Amino acid sequence: MAAGKKVVLVACGTGIATSTVVNKAVEKIAKENNLQVEIIQCKMMEVPGYADRASLLVTTTVVDKDKYSFPIVNGRPFLTGVGKAKAEQEIRDYLAN
């Protein structure tokens, strides 16, 4: 991983369907804002295995935010459109710092 590059976990229940939609959205946000990221698409049950290097988790499932030391963004707005701008801004803010 290059210096300054942040690791973004994109997770859903199976690591296939909804996380793919969210993954594309995160890729677009990173590209449009010139943010250096490594995106790892996974199942929610795999997140603990990446926790030691994660900078951010974007997930479509309900998560106990106290369980992890990194920020968590609700990815459901990328599926529904409701609150999408807010979720995009949260991702930009977390990755820019």
Catalytic residue ranges: 12
Cβ atoms < 10 Å from Cβ of 74: 17
For residue 18, which of 30, 10, 28 has the smallest C-alpha distance? 10
Tokens of 66: 């106290």
* Contact between 59 and 51 (Cβ < 8 Å): no
For residues 27 and 29, give the distance between their C-alpha atoms in angstroms, rounded to a whole number: 6
